[in-house]
Chains A and B, each alone.
Chain A
Amino acid sequence: MGLGINCKLYRNTGSYGSPTWTAIDLVADATLTPTWDEADGSARVSYGKQTGKTLVGVEISAKVRVSLTDAGYLALLSALNSQSTLVDIMVLDGASTTNGVQGYRADFAVFGAPEDQSMGAVLYRDFTLKPGISDNLLKSVTVSAGAPVFSSIAA
C-alpha cells in the first residue's frame, strides 16, 4: 500500500550520468502534478471535440522544514536564490530500490518558497519546482530490478 510518508524526493549529489541519489529527509507534505497542455484539434469531420496533448509540465510542490545545516534543504534554497541554478531531482512514490515505484527526473528550477513566520509556527518553506532549461530533459522513472530506469517522454 502506498503511503505519502514513504514517497521520496531525491537530489543527485553525483554526476548526471552516474547519479548518487540522496533523499531530502526534511520534506513533509509534497504534491506531484504532471499535466499536459491541451490544444483543440476539432475538425468538420466530426461534431465531437478532439483535443490534442501538446506539452507536459511536471510541477513539484514540497513543504520542507527549515534547517540551517541540512544539505538537501540548503540546495533547494540556493536554487531559489539563483536565476540559473538547477537541481537534479528525482521524485518517486516510494524508495528508489523498490520495484514498481514510479516518478520523474529532471533538472528542476525553484520558482518559489514562501515561509509562514507566524508566531506559533515551526518554520517550513513551500518550494515550487518545475523542469528548467537544460540539456538533461524530463524523464519518467520506473524502478526495476532495484534501480531507477529512465524513459524519455515519447510521442
Chain B
Amino acid sequence: MSTRINDLCDSLVTAIRDTWFPISPDLVSREYEVDLDSATFLGRRVYVFPDLYATPEPASRSEDYEDLTVQILVAERCADVGAVSKDWLDSRVQWVQDVIVGYLDRVRNEPAILGDHWPQSREVEVYDRESLVERKLFLSVVSITFRHLYTP
C-alpha cells in the first residue's frame, strides 16, 4: 500500500511529464536523494521529493484535511563556454514559472487534475547563487503545500 504523500508526488511527476514531454537526457522523477555534484550530468532534471505532512484536521465526521508538502527541484548545468549568460538563465526561470508553477495555477480552475488535492501555498527559490557561481548549475526549488481531503 502506497503512502498518500508519495501518491501525490507520483501524480505530480505524471502531470509534469504530460505537460513537458521530456526527451532524454531530460527527465522527471520522484526521488528521496539525488547526486547533483557530478560535473557531467546532462539535460534538465526535475525531481519531486516528498517533504512533510502535518496533523490532519476533521473536515466532517467522516473526512479529514491533511496538508502535504512536496519539493520540486529543477536542475540544469550550463554547458556553454565561459560565464552563464543572462538569457540562458532567463529562459530557465521562465520555464519553471510556465511549466511547474503555471501548472499549479491551472489546478485552481481544473481541480480534477490532482483529484482531491489542491495547492494551498507555494514558495519558489528562483535560483541558488552558490551553485550557479561555483558549478554553472541552475538550481530552482519549488516548495508546495497541498491540502488533501480523505476518508481515514
Contact = CB atoms under 8 A, between A and B. Distances in A.
Contacts of A23: 61-62
A11 B12 CA distance: 39
A5 interface: yes
A27 B60 contact: yes
Nearest to B118: A122
Interface in B82-113: none
B58 A26 contact: no
B59 A65 contact: yes
Main secondary structure of the interface of B (DSSP, over half): loop
A65 B58 CA distance: 12
A109 interface: no
Interface residues of B, number: 6
B62 A25 contact: yes
Contacts, number: 26
Nearest to A30: B61
Interface residues on A, range: 10 to 19
A5 B59 contact: no
Contacts of A122: 59
A5 B58 contact: yes
Nearest to A65: B60
B7 interface: no
B72 to A, nearest CB: 24
A75 to B, nearest CB: 16
A3 to B, nearest CB: 10
B123 interface: no
Nearest to B65: A122
Nearest to B149: A122
Nearest to A124: B60
B132 to A, nearest CB: 37
Contacts of A64: 60
A6 B60 CA distance: 11
Most chain A CB within a 10 A radius of its CB, from B58, B59, B62, B63: B62
A133 interface: no
Interface of A: 5-8, 23, 25-28, 64-65, 122
Given A8-B61, A26-B63, A28-B61, 7 more contacts: A5-B58, A25-B62, A25-B63, A26-B60, A26-B61, A28-B59, A28-B60
